[in-house]
Amino acid sequence: MGLLSVDELKTLVDQSESFCVSLYMPTYRAGTEVQQNPTRFKNLIKQAETLLQEKYDLDTTEARAFLKPAMDLDIDDFWQSQDEGLAIFMAQDFLKYYCLPLKFNEFVGVSDRFHLKPLMPLLTGDGTFYLLALSQQQIRFFEGSRYNINEIELEDVPTNMDDALLYDETAKAGQFRISTSKGGTGNPVPEAGSYHGQGSPDRDKPQERILQFFHLVDQGLHKYLNGKTAPLIIAGVEYLFPIYKEANTYPHLVEDILSVDNLGVVKPAEFHQKVLPLVEPYYTQEKQVAIEYYRNLMGTGKTSTDLQETIAAAYYGRVERLFVAVGVQEWGNFNPEANELQIHPEAQPGDDDLLNLAAVQTLLNGGIVYAVPPDSVPDEARLAAVFRY
């Protein structure tokens, strides 16, 4: 099982064979529902076998031989290590599968390319957030989305207050330096620091020592947050939050704290479950801002819902943002060299889902893709694009 990333997506895009099978299904991780996984899987494999026979004239033996590497996955250990959804991609001498934190609708596609549109929400950065779990003894930092969360191993960031401030009762001479920034995380400007010897009165003021520590933490996070716009959520005990706010220079700090008493024992998945209600309003706001951005550009020549114009623009790197409907397909094929598009009411041999093509090419060329339900695409279209130029 590979890790899903844009680079991994490129591997799937480059895998062009005479026929490619894409299979998506929701999965269960625990409980009696786990027994549904192999049943669903077998039904989808049967559909793939039928499509291979109908679209590519394979006989039963050939179709089953082609699907055998995927069928060999059907063992108990495989089904006991699932996430919310399973995606499988098969071509000649090629098999990739992904257990992913997104519950897919059941889908089987057989075409000259893999059907990758359902993966878009996991690849576009849509809904990214940062979580800083802090106490005086421990600092933990996470990057997450609505689907998953990953802990980041910090470098050059102090994770313990006493060590960071070199505070040692037995030291004959102890001192530390605090350098604060002004101008925000995006463009920090160092200011001169302060030095305190062992007899400093600051040592008798715990809140000031915590503030000094948090200044150092904030500075260390610059290289992780510089230029970012995703919300930052603080987790910890509530009395530390106003102190960190005073030290913070990142302009996208969320105004609510995630109250957690013992940071060391909380698993990433538990943090993820707890933090989602705090960041959900940001997801909604981000999507609404993108829609307003699209609407404000209407009539300027920088937006389109035309399938041919948008697909060509996606191939040529012109699409900045793309809204595309999930759960529906537009069948046809596109020749980028001749800039020719053919659209068919039903899938024909050699056809692709044109919505899938537009989404994949937009993402590969550095654009943002919003894979949304059909009624969430602007102008009630199947896709809607904002062009870079």
Which residue shows structure tokens 């913070």?
A: 248
| E strand residue ranges, the chain | 20-26, 85-91, 94-100, 107-111, 129-134, 139-144, 149-152, 181-182, 189-190, 232-236, 253-259, 303-304, 319-325, 331-335, 340-344, 352-353, 368-372, 383-387
Residue 146 sits at the vertex; the CA angle it makes with 142 and 147, to the nearest 5 degrees, is 90
Residue 174 sits at the vertex; the CA angle it makes with 198 and 211, to the nearest 5 degrees, is 80
- Residue-averaged pLDDT of the chain: 85
For residue 104, the 8-state DSSP code is P
CATH of 1-115, one of 3.40.930.10, 3.30.960.10, 3.40.50.20, 1.10.4080.10: 3.30.960.10
Residues pairing with 294 in the sheet = none
Residues pairing with 87 in the sheet = 24, 98
How high is the pLDDT of residue 10?
Answer: 83
Residues pairing with 13 in the sheet = none
Q: Which residues of the chain have pLDDT under 50?
A: 1-2, 168-204
Q: Which helix (H) or strand (E) holds 274?
A: helix 268-297
- CATH architecture for segment(s) 298-389: 2-Layer Sandwich (3.30)
Distance from C-alpha of 137 to C-alpha of 224, rounded to nearest angstrom: 21
How high is the pLDDT of residue 3?
Answer: 53
Q: Are 103 and 97 spatial neighbours (Cβ–Cβ below 8 Å)?
A: no
Write the secondary structure of 105-120 as one string of H (helix), E (strand) and C (coil). CCEEEEECCCCCHHHH
Report residue 203 as tokens. 């040592």
Q: Are 124 and 230 spatial neighbours (Cβ–Cβ below 8 Å)?
A: no
- Considering Cα of 325, then 329, then 335, then 339, what sign does the dihedral take? negative
Long-range contacts of 112-115 (CB under 8 A, 24+ apart): 112/16, 112/17, 112/18, 112/19, 112/20, 112/350, 112/352, 113/13, 113/16, 113/20, 113/352, 113/356, 113/357, 114/12, 114/13, 114/15, 114/20, 114/22, 114/89, 115/22, 115/353, 115/356
- Angstrom distances, CA of residue 19 to CA of 96, 111, 351, 364: 15, 5, 11, 22
What are the residue boundaries of the structural domains of the chain, listed by start? 1-115, 133-277, 298-389
Distance from C-alpha of 147 to C-alpha of 345, rounded to nearest angstrom: 34
Report residue 158 as tokens. 């102090």
The model's pLDDT over 1-39, given as tens digits with 9 standing for 90+, comes to 445 677 788 888 887 667 899 999 999 887 778 889 999
The model's pLDDT over 57-85, given as tens digits with 9 standing for 90+, comes to 999 999 999 999 999 999 988 998 888 89
Determine phi and psi for 109, rounding to 5 degrees. Answer: -130, 135
